[in-house]
Amino acid sequence: MYIIPIICYNLLEKHGILMRFIGMEYMKVKEAVEKWGLTDRRVRILCEQERINGVIKKGRSYLIPADAEKPIDGRKLRVKRPVYAMNL
């Protein structure tokens, strides 16, 4: 465990250095959107549903582990059935 004075902690956290200092790297939702090709809202929903391992909620933001894999889309696809013409 690291003992860091609160002033240093806030400064490190503000510049995104704290997580790297502790040895963990995280990305924000915006970075996950670019990496995975999903929408901002979809990534936030996956975080809320705890479908991404290691996510940390910080206020209204989410910190996603940099090495996290894109979750499998569990939503069902709606397949349209072909319409056949009926012989009258």
For residue 65, give the amino acid letter.
Answer: P
39 vs 83, more confident: 39
Q: What is the pLDDT of residues 47-86, one digit of tens each?
A: 999 899 888 888 889 999 999 999 887 777 667 777 776 6
| Cβ within 8 Å of residue 55, ≥6 positions away | 47, 62, 63, 64, 65, 68
Q: In this structure, is residue 84 part of a structural domain?
A: no
Contact 65, 24 (CB under 8 A): yes
Which two tokens mark 82? 């072909």
- How many whole angstroms separate alpha carbon 10 and alpha carbon 55? 20
Domain count, the chain: 1
What is the value of pTM for the model shown? 0.60
**Pairwise CA distance, residues 61 & 73, whole Å:** 22
Give per-residue pLDDT as tens, 12-32.
Answer: 555 555 555 556 788 999 999
Instruction: Evaluate whether residue 20 is within a structural domain.
Output: no
Please give the residue range of the domain that contains residue 55: 25-70
Q: Which residue has the higher pLDDT, 72 or 10?
A: 72
